[in-house]
Amino acid sequence: MPPIIPPALPEHLYVRLSDERICIARYDALRPAAFAFSVFRPERSKPLGPNLIHMAESEELLKAPTRGSTYVLTHTPATYVPLADFQESECETIYRYCFPTHNEHRIFYDVVGAADSVVIFGLREDICQALEHAIDNVIFASTHTALLRHFANKGANVCTGQRFFINLRERATDIYVFDRNRLTLANTFSTDDVMDTIYYTLNIATQTGARLMPDEDTMPLATTPFYISGEEGQRLAVSRELRRFAAEVIAIQPTAEFNRHIIASTPDVPYDLMVHLIG
């Protein structure tokens, strides 16, 4: 009897949107060494729509044929609903209540069973249409989704209380708080420097009841672990400052976390895209 050969996983394209740079990746889990990555920098004087058309025409990774879908990852604002309370019919109402806007948005949701949550997010309709016009087989996802899946289990076996995850990206900080595998809080803040991130982190820690060191009038925080992810310079700067206030600060080193995986070893790959691909 001939051997049974499992079907090859399709090679997918990944496009991560942001105002300052658009990251493009090709990845096939069966051929990780063939990972390819590039960065397209939009012209700030032009709207995103024309930039996306130019990107599709100029980027070699997008012009080459692919066997799979194109995942478009966006870190636009998101809100979170416990899985037990989620009703698909309420997505648009919830999103528009949380993020009122005059622009027409397309509303999406991602189920994150590991965190017992649903991520509800949106993207401007004109951007969705520009992407679908320029790229075939588009699937939209939130960058928060992969991060929540990854963080839900990270450290859960060694910590019996709260765990904080601070993800640093372009002029913004994502903060997620878990109690074991359960997501208890998630929010994103505009942050221009290290002290902005520290301010929001400590404010949330205090509000959620993170315990102080015994016999101390001020921080450091005694028992709550803080995991810091993001670009290396930001990550180290925030970790260094946060250690003035918290006893357990872990700066996530992707090459160590992912055992020197080629994606983790490739310069400039954002942590949220890295987690989405490797996870």
**Cα 9 from Cα 23, distance rounded (Å):** 22
Closest CA to 263 of 15, 7, 33: 33
- Other C-beta atoms lying within 10 Å of the C-beta of residue 143: 26
Q: Please state the rounded mean pLDDT for residues 140-165.
A: 88
From CA 226, how far away is CA 155, in angstroms rounded?
10
The pLDDT score that the predictor gives to residue 2 is 41
- Tokens matching residue 88: 């698909």
DSSP state of 103: S
Q: What pLDDT, on the 0 to 100 scale, is given for residue 7?
A: 42
Which tokens hold the place of 14?
């990944």
Instruction: Tell me how far apart the alpha carbons of residues 40 and 48 are, in angstroms, rounded to a whole number.
Output: 12
Please give the Cα distance from 27 to 262 (Å, whole number): 11
Tens digits of residue pLDDT in 63-82: 877 777 899 999 899 999 99
pLDDT tens-digit map of 127-139: 999 999 888 889 9
CB atoms within 10 A of CB 27: 23
Q: What is the pLDDT of residue 9?
A: 46
Sequence-distant (6+) residues with CB within 8 A of 222 are: 211, 212, 213, 214, 247
Q: What is the pLDDT of residues 90-129, one digit of tens each?
A: 999 999 999 998 789 999 999 999 999 999 999 999 999 9
> Are 241 and 230 in contact, with CB atoms under 8 Å apart?
no
Closest Cα to residue 38, out of 51, 22, 52?
22
E strand or H helix that includes residue 271 = helix 271-278
The residues that bridge with 210 in the sheet, in sequence order, are none
Q: What are the E-state strand segments in 97-159?
A: 105-112, 117-124, 138-142
Average pLDDT, the chain: 88
CA 1 from chain center: how many Å?
46
- 1-29 pLDDT, tens digit per residue, is 444 434 444 578 999 998 889 999 999 88
Q: Which of 138, 143, 131, 6 is nearest to 68 (CA)?
A: 138
| Residue-wise pLDDT tens digits, 223-239 | 789 999 999 999 999 99
- 157, 178 Cβ separation under 8 angstroms: no
What one-letter code names the amino acid at 213? M
Q: Is 86 exposed, middle or buried (0-12, 13-18, 19+ CB in 10 A)?
A: middle
How far are the Cα atoms of 49, 94, 137, 153, 229 from residue 54, in angstroms, in the given order? 9, 34, 18, 40, 31
Q: Does 250 have pLDDT greater than 90?
A: yes
Percent composition of the chain: helix, strand, coil (DSSP 3-state, to 5) = 35, 30, 35
